[in-house]
Chains A and B, each alone.
Chain A
Amino acid sequence: MTKIKNLADLKRIQEEVRSRIKLRENSNHPENMVQIKVGMATCGIASGAKETMNYFIEETEQRAIDAVVTQTGCMGYCYAEPTVEVTLPGKEPVVFGYVNKTKAHEIIDRYITQGELVDGIIPVSYKTIDE
């Protein structure tokens, strides 16, 4: 298999993969998909949020969970980085702290697939004067 060096090679990969796998019908309705936002500010990056984000991307794909994984800036919970905000369709967003790979696995297993709440949620219980 030749190495991938340019755009033509990428195009070839696209052809190959398309014929092999039927692409999931990704509904373009964000309301129906699970939204996963990984905090990727300085504190997040320094605590390894890149790994956490990669893990979510790979696991949700492997388990065919309809999810959008994006990065977000500082949510203010620097002491608990890496942090992840998960919004299940129709529910309020929930923020989890100290999300390493094991915790991420737990979150996907229990919260996302079964709706069961997991330890380590950071409560959003205050409002600042500006809000």
Chain B
Amino acid sequence: MRDIAVISGAAIHEELAERDEVELIHAVVSQALAGAGPAADRIGFVCSGSCDMLIGRPFSFVQGLDGIAAWPPIRESHVEMDGAWALYEAWTRLQLGDIDAALVYGFGRASAGSLKDVSVLQLDPYTLAPLWPDSDVLAGLQVSAMQNSGRFGDMASVSPLPVTDGAAAVVLAAGDLVRQCCDRPAWIEAIDHRIEPAELGVRNLATSRSTRVCVKAMDVAWDTIDCAALHTRYEHERLLLMETVLEEGAASILPATNTPMVTGLSNIAEIAERITDGRSDRGVAHATSGPCLQQNLLCVLAADDYEGAA
């Protein structure tokens, strides 16, 4: 498969965005393209991630297109997920070999509604959603399962991280183009994502099974990862992820952000920037979706001098 690198990235996380989605997208996309060198002129594929339910209107990605130049017509796709999954799609698209650069963005303005209530709509619409267990309630089930497992000491309560608005953008490049854009590229060494069934009764909430499956499938050296950007909506999710992803590592955990549809991609941009500017040799970025860490994506990025070391 082709080696693909993150060339540049940008992210905005704001407590209450005063800009609309188009303005947020325009800001991060402009910044990412400005830092992408020759790749900026060779974008052959664009992929974005967003979620209509955050603002309760269909087709937010259609308006989002006004934040990028979609003329003349472009090759473009969209996932109703965090931008990290859009990056995964772009990564598979670049593998086909006919294009060498891709632009990925994600955007979300959760402040338009009450996120913990809106996320109830992710649940089974026939049996579970009508009971309206909001995301804090479901997180409470997970904390309780963790407490009962005895592995995490005394766990006081559910502590949600503040939710923010924002957008993130990343430019990917492949092949010879990478060297023309970047002295120290952040290579995508491995990327994978896995899901668990929605039914809470069949899940072991005291562990993150989908993350564990991901870690296993990626087949990389986890013990030499030096930094991690994790998407945690609650404090206890960090404990579960650290146990799964980094149990053998001594990585520094970067401060968490919690911007729906954005944080996963922003985490990838953050790790890539640290590799490019020399603060890190290998890092892992994480994205999550669904209640109690139902779906997880991991992306391991590495500097090229690390090829010999691995």
Do A and B interact with each other, yes or no?
A: no
Could you list which residues of chain B lie within 8 angstroms of chain A, going by C-beta atoms?
none
Seen from chain A, the residues whose Cβ lies within 8 Å of a Cβ on chain B are none
